[in-house]
Amino acid sequence: MPADHRPGAVRGAIYHLRTLAERTHYTADAVPFADPYHPPRLCDLHDSAHAIARLLTCLIHDADMTRIAGAGGRRTALERFVITELTLAAASAGRALAALGEVIAPAGARAIDETAPFDSVGNRTKRATPVELDWIQAAHAHLAATSHRLHQAADHLHTLQAPPVPAAAAPPAPHRPGPARSP
């Protein structure tokens, strides 16, 4: 990172990227697991899609706010770096949402299947197809990659943030006795 960046701005960017990485990690926890015997229900997919959409909106909003904050002149290298990382993370989160969207139609078909037996909660059960399981795993993988990328970006900024190098101090002058004073 060029030396013209204020340390506070770099620290703020590092904190922001790490916070978004953790938020992405927690969003991945909202996605149902790929379990063939307990396929995702529509209500589970709704909650997961809503969480990913909130994350996607947050990433795009933060990239735009970074862009607007630097609109007073030329973008600094830090602003360009943060905007790039946020937009790449948003693209990955969008792919996770799309992967989850591929599971919605089969889950809806399972919900209206009259031949499937009921489970203990009153929902119709049927095994998830391998394709559904692949899409759910893809959603998890995209969110994990997004979180990992944001952590890497924060780590990259942290390693480039060099502590200020103190100016070389001149060695102390040797003590030389001065002329004797008369009383």
pTM: 0.75
Computed over every residue of the chain, the mean pLDDT equals 82
Chain segment 68-108, per-residue pLDDT in tens: 776 666 778 888 899 999 999 999 999 999 999 999 888 88
The answer to whether residue 117 is domain-embedded is yes
* Residues in CB range of 76: below 8 A, 6 or more apart: 2, 4, 5, 70
Residue of 17 and 109 predicted with greater confidence? 17
- Rounded Cα gap, residues 18 and 4, in angstroms: 23
In a domain, 109, yes or no: yes
Write the pLDDT tens digit of every residue in 113-156.
666 666 666 655 577 788 888 999 999 999 999 999 999 999 99
Res. 54: pLDDT tops 80: yes
3 state DSSP class of 130: helix
| Assigned domain for 73 exists | yes
pLDDT over 90 for what percent of the chain?
A: 39
Token digits of residue 180: 């004797």
Domain hosting 62: range is 40-160
> Residue 91: inside a domain, yes or no?
yes
113 belongs to a structural domain: yes
| pLDDT for the residue 164 | 54
Predicted local distance difference test score (pLDDT) of residue 168: 60
Residue 169, number of CB atoms within 10 A of its CB = 6
d(CA 38, CA 132): 12
Contacts of 92 (CB under 8 A, 6+ apart): 142, 143, 145, 146, 149
Nearest Cα residue to 79 out of 4, 20, 18? 4
Question: Quick check: 66 and 82 in contact, CB under 8 A?
Answer: yes
- Which 3 state secondary structure label does DSSP give 146? helix
> Is 180 part of any domain?
no
Total domains in the chain come to 1
Whether residue 70 lies inside any domain: the answer is yes
Q: Is residue 6 part of a domain?
A: no
